[in-house]
Amino acid sequence: MKSEALLANLLTTPPTHRDAEIAVQLSVNLYMYEGNLIWSRFNAMLVLHGIVIAATAQLITAIVDKSSTTTAIPLLRVAAIILACVGIASCIAWQALMTRGFAYHDQFLKRAQDIAIKHFDVPTFPFTIEKTNKKTKKLRIRDSITVIIGILGLAHLGLILVAIFIQ
Q: What sign does the CA torsion over 86, 36, 99, 20 have?
A: positive
**Residues sharing a CB contact under 8 Å with residue 9, sequence separation 6 or more, in sequence order:** 15
Q: Where are the domains of the chain?
A: 2-165
Q: Residue 138's beta-bridge partner residues? A: 133
d(CA 63, CA 60): 5
d(CA 50, CA 155): 11
For residue 161, which of 71, 88, 72 has the smallest C-alpha distance? 88
Upper half-sphere CA count for residue 94 (Cβ side, 13 Å): 27
d(CA 165, CA 167): 6
Give Rg (Cα) of the chain.
Answer: 23
Predicted TM-score (pTM) of this structure: 0.76
d(CA 80, CA 154): 15
pLDDT tens series, the chain, 167 aa: 566 776 676 566 665 677 777 888 888 888 899 989 999 999 999 999 999 999 999 999 988 886 666 778 888 899 999 999 999 999 999 999 999 999 998 888 888 888 777 777 766 666 555 555 555 556 678 889 999 999 999 999 999 999 999 87
d(CA 108, CA 129): 10
pLDDT at 92: 97
Amino acid at site 107: Q
d(CA 31, CA 109): 6
pLDDT at 40: 95
Q: What is the greatest pairwise CA distance in the chain? A: 77
For residue 151, which of 75, 94, 107 has the smallest C-alpha distance? 94
